[in-house]
Chain A
Amino acid sequence: MRKKIFHDTLRCTAAVFSLAALTWASPITRMDLFDASDNHLLFITFDYNDKGDCIQRNVFSSDSTFMYSTTFTTSNGVKKEHSVDYLDNTIYNTNINAPSGGATAFTTVDQFGLSQFGAPLSWKKSTENTYDITQNGAKVCTQKYEYNADGDLTGITVMDKNGNKAWYAQIIHHNVAVRRGISEHGMNPMRFSVSRSAIKFYCTLSEAKFVSVELISPAGRRIESLVHGNLTKGKHSFSSSTRNLASGAYIVRVSIDGTFALTRKVIVQK
């Protein structure tokens, strides 16, 4: 009986970690913004540091014309966003203040300190995943965040003050590229690149390591081993065809010197 309980526990624990891996949010790499008539207005790309923190947004008009980049800092509970033009000259500064009375206020000024909204805009959660945007107490719009079953943010719908759908955003996760270093294991930088035809893995090792990189199906089955062996210090790259894979989510599992290091979801789109 004790043996059965032990095995049940083991199986369940394995299942938990498997599911937890599946529901780990994958980095958002791009957001496209549309109006209610499906006109593509602009898009944003997101850059991450080696720890997986989003460190920069880049705004482009829909014909890929660069508009500005934004970086972030936090100080005394105030998140500050700093936007620069193509010459790295400041064009906007945004302050996002800590919640007050349940609402978070944000203000954008230009490089001369002039308010771009006229008065702070505020957001407050109204219902699950829904946020009301107000200005001077009057509703400006409402936005609803949409998630898929894996917990990934997939879209945002913005309703005008009358409740009509006015804009929407589509979110793209790391099906284009994922950058994440694993400094503590001597692997930095590291990058996945997933295209229609191949999954590629790049890394730089600070010293020789035993590295294993596996592609796992959503059901937990190992599909492919990109590398499994001793790698020397320096840069390495490996690739594997995705031609025989169906579109969908897969897991990439990286272990270094036999120690589990990282699990990331990748999306194959065909």
Chain B
Amino acid sequence: MFNKILYTFLFSIVCFSSVRAQSNALDVIPPSLVPGLLALNGDLSTLKNPKYLTPSDLALDPEKKFIYVAMRQMKQVAQFDLATNRVVKKFLLPNEPTGVAVSKDGAMLYVTCASDRWPSGMVCEVSIGAGKVTRRIPAGHYARSPVLSRDGNTLYTCNWLGNDLSVIDLPGGVEKTRIKMVREPYAAAITSDGATLVVTNSLPEQKAIDTISLTGKVSLVNTSNNTVRAVIPVFPVGTHSLFGVCVSKDGKYAFVSHLVGRFTLPATTFAQGWIHSNNVAIIDIGAEKLLNDIMIDNSTQGFGNPWGMAQTEDEKYLCVLSAGSHTLTVYDYPKLIDFASKGNDLSHEFTALTSIKDTLKLSLKAPRSIAMVGNKAYIAGYFSDSIQVVTVSSINPDAGKLYSLGESKPLQGEHLGEFYFTDAYQCLQKWQSCFSCHPFGRPDALNWMLASESTRQRNAKSMLYSWWTPPTNWNGRRPHAGGADGSVRMGIYYELGLKPTEEVSVPIDSFLMYMKPVPSPYLVKGKLSEKAVRGKQIYERIGCDVCHPAPLYTDSAFYNAGVPDSLDATVNWNTPSLIEAWRTAPYSHSGRYDKIKEIIELRAHSLGASQLSEKEKDELVEFVNSL
């Protein structure tokens, strides 16, 4: 009896200990932790972030049985069966897929992954049979647009915000080398012989005061020795947002979609591409030069924000998507090359190509990616949840059908705002969208004379934190990003030419409010480098934080920082935030500096900074570039 009592006592204590243990665990990992963490990491769907499919890239398998669809917010790649036109399999990824390529034997996927939260890029090798990631290979900052070499042993990735190209040895699973690109390499395509990789640099790298040679560039990379063999400026002046590229089947030409910003003109009207036209550059790969530049737009309507492109397999047609106007423009390819080769500048020519092209309104929102199977174009819209299959057997293709990629969800909140931000339907005659001057909410690297400014050029500003650092504009003319007289509504009115509605403006407000910075490529494993830590000490010691105080690194006040400006020599300018300064060159209200160091060397801007040693200046620059 006594023993029974004793063992009961013993058992109770053990149970008590066990309960105590569990209680301690719940203190450390409360039930809120994992769901909260998953929601903030973009994994768990919540009312605010319902996780849209956001198809961002397509890749065809060698046997042409499947198309693989990178679905960013879902962190998935979907296998779309071309026989049944439905998704038959999905592959989970650790981060958002930015691009997808299929191995030569069709057994593996190579998926570039990166996101605004976690931009340090990687390539995930996915075994299609096993349905899992089998290897992770580090790549560069915000890796995207994976392209396989002809032998299938090398993978190239555009490290978009790292300004370089990764060359990855697939058998070894390591990055062999990096090749410096011009600025923000966004898309790449390889010639059919595998000898040349064509890479688009999406933004110009020059000072914005350069009105002679400021253009976006296309880099030609020799794959035999991984060197840049040519950098081709895409004229006319003001080209930017080079987001799409394809190479002709014969390997002779590369086609690069882009905008032409006519930034030397006051932005007072829209007609006939006065502010922006939407163009395609034709690069003669062998001659390493621009053959011609053609306008996609019609004289009375723009086809804003051109993106993905593809040639039909019979080589008869070239297809160009316009993500802002949600259209597909089809060119008679042989005639296009014929016209383009005659030597006439077609970059602002509306009539010459009318008879050899036509444009189809798609049922998708923001069509950005296209894969061609024979003469069938499979098209995905970034803000849609379907694939549209269009048969291109003439320049007037049939609209075809939509096939679901997964659960359909209505756009709402900031995601709806992001859509409107990219939507050329919010512009008179669809010439441009907010995204045209502010790609991804950041500046296009150009100076603009806005309609209500008339005579003065101002460097385009980033929208990041614009909601939280009023007033907006360099001269503070608009008191806030939101509100009746704020930048959103006035931007729609003056820069897009339409009367702003709350139905559109409020979601855009939300998009701007929620924008988050992308961690800088200058950070080391997410933290300041030792050099940047020293730079931070200098930043605080010499008082940079007086006008650029944390956490937003601006005091929102107005100063004349001594930037030479003969027309506005005495004007005070709104202090810009330094967050993401690493990606927002050129600097100052007039865009006359393409490096942070040039600014800090201005005596009138900061006497203390201008007197630093070269080493200290470099450390200060390292810190600013880390923000």
Contacts and interface: CB of A to CB of B under 8 A. Distances in A.
A35 B43 contact: yes
Given A38-B132, A39-B93, A41-B41, A153 B25 contact: yes
B13 interface: yes
Nearest to B30: A96
Contact of B40 (A92, A112, A136, A147): A92
Interface stretch (B79-87, B241-249, B524-532): B524-532
Contacts of B29: 28, 31, 153, 156, 169, 171
A64 interface: yes
B479 to A, nearest CB: 18
A86 B527 contact: yes
B20 interface: yes
A33 B118 CA distance: 15
B107 interface: no
B48 interface: yes
Interface stretch (B2-10, B210-218, B483-491): B2-10
Given A40-B94, A61-B120, A135 B46 contact: yes
Given A8-B6, A114-B514, A151-B18, A167 B25 contact: no
A150 B14 CA distance: 10
A210 interface: no
A118 B412 CA distance: 11
B122 interface: yes
B551 interface: yes
A38 B34 CA distance: 16
A214 interface: no
Interface in A129-188: 129, 131, 133, 135-136, 140-141, 143, 145, 147, 150-153, 156, 158, 167, 169, 171
Contacts of A117: 39, 46-48
Interface string B7-32: 10110011001111110111111111
Contacts of B21: 23-25, 147, 150-152
A127 interface: no
Interface size class of A (residues with CB under 8 A): 35 or more
A66 interface: yes
Contact of A121 (B36, B93, B525): B36
B31 A153 contact: no
Counting chain A CB atoms within 10 Å of each CB, the highest count among B32, B526, B528, B550 belongs to B32
A27 B14 CA distance: 19
Nearest to B117: A67
A18 B48 CA distance: 50
Contacts of B10: 12, 15-16, 19
A32 to B, nearest CB: 11
B403 interface: no
Contact of A28 (B25, B75, B514): B25
B72 to A, nearest CB: 15
Nearest to A22: B17
B598 to A, nearest CB: 24
Nearest to A4: B2
Counting chain B CB atoms within 10 Å of each CB, the highest count among A25, A54, A79 belongs to A25
A44 interface: yes
A40 B94 CA distance: 6
A37 B34 contact: no
A171 B26 CA distance: 12
A37 B92 contact: yes
A23 B21 CA distance: 7
A172 B28 CA distance: 12
Nearest to A66: B526
Interface stretch (A103-111, A195-203, A234-242): A103-111
Contact of B14 (A19, A33, A36, A65): A19
Counting chain B CB atoms within 10 Å of each CB, the highest count among A46, A87, A108 belongs to A87
A59 interface: yes
A20 interface: yes
Nearest to B119: A65
B74 to A, nearest CB: 11
Counting chain A CB atoms within 10 Å of each CB, the highest count among B18, B45, B120, B528 belongs to B18
A9 interface: yes
Given A28-B29, A60-B526, A140-B35, A23 B18 contact: yes
B2 A5 contact: yes
A136 B47 CA distance: 9
A41 to B, nearest CB: 6
B36 A106 contact: yes
A206 interface: no
B526 A86 contact: yes
Contact of B39 (A19, A44, A116, A156): A116
Nearest to B75: A35
B360 interface: no
A24 B19 CA distance: 10
Contacts of A250: none
A129 B22 CA distance: 9
A231 interface: no
Contact of B120 (A38, A65, A86): A65
A112 B468 contact: yes
Given A28-B29, A65-B118, A9 B6 contact: yes
B46 A118 contact: yes
Contact of A33 (B31, B38, B47, B513): B38
Contacts of A41: 41, 43, 94
27 contacts: A9-B6, A12-B7, A16-B10, A16-B13, A23-B17, A27-B28, A28-B29, A31-B29, A35-B75, A37-B133, A39-B132, A39-B133, A67-B118, A86-B528, A94-B32, A96-B30, A104-B32, A116-B39, A116-B40, A118-B413, A121-B36, A121-B39, A123-B32, A123-B35, A141-B44, A147-B22, A152-B25
Interface of B: 2-3, 6-7, 9-10, 13-14, 17-22, 24-41, 43-49, 75, 91-95, 117-118, 120, 122, 131-133, 138, 413, 468, 513-514, 519, 523, 525-528, 550-551, 627
Which 6 A-B pairs have CB atoms at the shortest separation, nearest pair first?
Answer: A118-B47, A151-B21, A118-B48, A66-B526, A25-B21, A153-B25
